[in-house]
Amino acid sequence: MFKEDLFSKSARKNLETDLSTAHAIVEATNNVYHKIDNPDGVLNLGVAVNKLQEDLVLQKDLDYGDPIGSSELRDNISKVINRHFNPYKDISLDDIVVVNGITSGLDKIASVLCDPGDAILIPTPCYSSFELDFYLQAKANVQFVPIPLHDFNSANQVSYYEKKLKELTQLNIKVKLIVICNPNNPLGVCYPKPALQEILKFADQNNIFVLFDEIYALSVYRNLPCSDPLLDYSQNNDLVSDVLVPFESVLSWCDLDSFIDPNLVIVAHGLSKDFCLNGFRVGWIICPWNKSFLTSISTIGEFSYIAGIADSIVCKFLADSTFLDSFITTMQTNLLTSFEKTTSYLTSKNVPFVPGMAGSFLWINIKHQLLIWKNNNLNPNESPVLDTNQLTFDDELAMWSDILQNGRIYITSGASFHSMEPGWARIIFAIPWETLKVGLDRLFDFMAKSHSSKSL
């Protein structure tokens, strides 16, 4: 049976707080009086807003809104989820809390679940900003769980979580949350269900929450093996093989409670990736199983408001299901086209990559280019590097900085994604091909030709 003592001390205290005033304001905001359209609505004479000049500016969307998103917005979000995520049971507006971007949402989740110093387990390689998102305010202790690429598809990867939990338990550190990014960033592939089942069973046995970051759920563009495979994966165990695993939202699992108490499961999604609207700063947290958790998130919702005008615009955007269906199909088609052009280019350069199927990026192996760059940029009295196994993360970061400062190209270094070894990078391919090819040509030319004056 789920117990609220799994929440942080702060969240438990908040659940005991008298919020009647805040609830009254929400009621006044969501049920506004109108002499014709809503004569039984609330006449708001309590919130300090000056409406005497309203006719001189905009006619709507000026008031304070519901801190967790308007009922209309959350209802439209639920319809999108029910239409595209195939949930086992329909999601309702009461299962959703809207936040000003998933970055803010991650902070709120950590605040509710973690006391300062409590641990969050995140498998690597992973999204580079997770550590800051969970630490800066909530002071959660992010602990990375390195997963070798050849084990990504294996249910045995749970052994790495078990090892990390044992280490932290010996240090008297509580583990409160596991974060699973599915589809994965930066690998661009989906987790096989057997692997997730084992992770969920592990979490259930240890009373650990699991957050499914499904921000790329609708950006799955490929369901056929790579038409121009670069490598013989049977001979190369360092990469994820091109075994395409269809994306299944955890919301769709009809047997979820066979693996974990659903009260421990949280889902995050939003506008930034699947709808290409990252500047709107609108995301949502979904938890149809645990109302205490949603109440705890809602209690601190005033710190993650979205603007009333953004609420209104996004409502209209998400309400147009015909447009959204067409938009998602077009987006997936465009991603596939760009993926095929980019992987063909990489193949021509003999650059290994993880054959992704979702998201806007590729995880590429540039060890060979790093070796060339390193030997062209040796420090005085430094011996040549003869093998890629001798390369270090310092070498990688030095090349990355050189690429940005002198090559004028920005890519994301593998080190920032906590790669297990130097020589990896994430590149974005969701860019018009004319511009992308200029960037790729410049990148590979620069890595081959960059030559430091200090090594002359």
Q: Report mean pLDDT in 10-residue bins for the chain, 456 residues.
A: 69 63 60 76 54 50 78 96 97 96 93 94 92 89 94 94 97 97 95 97 97 96 61 43 84 97 97 88 95 92 85 92 93 91 92 92 95 93 91 94 89 92 93 91 91 59
Task: Calculate helix-pair angle for 433-449, 321-348, nearest 10 degrees.
Answer: 30
pLDDT for the residue 224: 58
Secondary structure letter of residue 258 according to DSSP: G
Pairing of strands 424-428, 361-365: antiparallel
* Nearest to 306, CA basis, from 67, 59, 23: 67
**Phi, psi for 365 (deg, rounded to 5):** -105, 110
Secondary structure letter of residue 42 according to DSSP: B
Per CATH, the homologous superfamily of domain 325-455 is Aspartate Aminotransferase, domain 1 (3.90.1150.10)
Q: Which two tokens stand for residue 200?
A: 């969920």
CATH 3.40.640.10 domain residues, the chain: 4-321
CATH 3.90.1150.10 domain residues, the chain: 325-455
User: For tokens 């809207």, what's the residue?
Assistant: 98
* Nearest to 53, CA basis, from 62, 44, 42: 62
> What distances in angstroms separate CA 381 from CA 219, 333, 399, 453, one per listed residue?
49, 52, 19, 14
* Nearest to 313, CA basis, from 277, 267, 339: 277
Residues 231/352, Cβ–Cβ less than 8 Å: yes
Q: Residue 117, Cβ neighbours under 10 Å: how many?
A: 11
Q: Which two tokens stand for residue 441?
A: 């040509």
> What distances in angstroms separate CA 417 from CA 129, 218, 328, 420, 440, one per listed residue?
9, 23, 28, 9, 21
* Nearest to 209, CA basis, from 249, 175, 165: 175
CA distance 151 to 82: 32
Q: What is the pTM of this model?
A: 0.85
Q: Which two tokens stand for residue 42?
A: 């609330």
pLDDT for the residue 53: 45
- CATH fold, domain 4-321, is Aspartate Aminotransferase; domain 2 (3.40.640)
